[in-house]
Amino acid sequence: MPQGFTRRAIGGLLAATILLIVWRISYYEPSTLPGHSPQGNNNVAKTSATSRKVGKVSMLYGYPNPYYKQALESHKRHADRWGYPMHILQEDISEGFWNKPSYVLSLVIQELAKPAAERLEWLMWVDADSIIINPAIPADIFLPPRDLSEIHFVASKDQNGLNTGIVFFHVHQWTISMLIEALAHPLYLPAIDLGVSADQEAMARIMKKTTDGPDGQGYAQGMAYLPRPWINTYEWHHAYEGKKGDMLVHFPGLEDDRWPHMEKWLGVVEDTPLEWEVPLKDTEYPRLTKDFWDKFRTARNLANQVERDIYNAPAGSLTHARQEAVAQLRIALQQHADEAEFLQQCVDDLHAAIKKETSA
Ligand SMILES: [Mn+2]
């Protein structure tokens, strides 16, 4: 290779890197978290061409709680490292749990009011009872590839269903409609008891809707559940369910156990931050997330194709088995994408139905 070419190539690469860094810094907003001074942002981690503009969002108000404050500082360090602006609600703007969807809605609207090129693309909500333990994991590795443009909400579920402790919201009109329906739930369906986590229960119910909504199809096809331990790893009374390299720890439930558990983890990340840090490439995340979305895409494309085939089938064709199997696969994509074996079973069942009805 001629030397001039090499020099030009290196020069070009350097210029592109500087441009990228300048561009990332321009999205930086200092935290307004009390007592947290904004740090310089010249250590922003490298981002790839497929990376997304992500902002992190949380809330902390009311009686001062040093554990939550320190937990959010771990999120702020993660945000600084990757060049994500971080927004923290510090005033009670609504009633209890409704602060969360209200604040996210306000941010989505603010982002959409900007010119497209200046907008954040996704918001990562993080509860103040979660701590980043491996800041080397970028938020956008979990997001759907751009071609899966119908996905606007990425979450996880536990034994109680949807858990909104850690969730990704797409900056999109779909999210505005969804959050407005969630916020309005107690007003238009006052007879339904949403329980203690009312906002979470409202969102869980709305995510199952396949009627009404922005396009008359509800919201079910706009969401995907990731395996919960990837993004929303729990601390149980007896132990951490995750392993070294996992991105964070969340402390739902736990009652009085929460404080000693948070204190232990805050000690780990503040005193020995490198103990739990593992470079992204040395974790399972790149392979697992790629595999997840590849399988999701394959299943979704199959469902689309079979629905077209059924629609175009000549009158009198057998389609009943395919209709049933494709409906099952849709439900699997919408509510069980985090259960890999179940999703695969639904794909296999649909292939069997196709074979049965089209090979005769
Ligand atoms: Mn929580």
**Is 45 inside a domain boundary?**
no
- Domain match, 204 and 264 both: yes
What's the 166 CA to ligand 1 centre distance in angstroms?
Answer: 8
Is the model's pLDDT at 192 over the cut of 60?
A: yes
Instruction: Kindly state the average pLDDT of the residues 150-177.
Output: 97
Spacing, Cα 247 to ligand 1 middle (Å) = 15
Write down the pTM of the prediction: 0.87
User: For residue 257, how far is its CA from the centre of ligand 1 (angstroms)?
Assistant: 14
Average pLDDT over residues 149-172: 97
**Residues 215, 344: one domain?**
no
Centre of ligand 1 to C-alpha 281, Å, is: 28
Q: 238 and 277: one domain?
A: yes
Percent of residues in the chain assigned helix, strand, coil, to nearest 5: 50, 10, 35
Q: Are residues 6 and 109 in the same domain?
A: no
Q: Examine the domain organization and report whether 95 and 130 are in the same domain.
A: yes
Q: State the pLDDT at residue 300.
A: 98
State which residues form the domain around 1.
Answer: 1-28
CA of 41 to the centre of ligand 1 (A): 28
Residue 45 neighbours by CB under 8 Å, 6+ apart: 81, 82, 83, 136, 138
DSSP 8-state assignment for residue 244: T
**Domains contained in the chain, number:** 3
Q: Is residue 44 part of a domain?
A: no
Based on the domain organization, do 317 and 267 belong to the same domain? no
Per residue in 243-271, pLDDT tens?
Answer: 999 999 999 999 899 999 999 999 999 99
307 and 275 housed in the same domain: no
CA of 37 to the centre of ligand 1 (A): 25
User: Beta-carbon neighbour count of residue 71 at 10 Å?
Assistant: 28
Please tell me the least confidently modeled range out of 33-47, 93-107, 319-333.
Answer: 33-47
Centre of ligand 1 from the C-alpha of residue 234, in Å: 10
Q: What is the C-alpha separation between 165 and 157, in angstroms, rounded?
A: 10
pLDDT digits (tens, 9 = 90+) for 208-246: 999 998 899 999 999 999 999 999 999 999 999 999 999
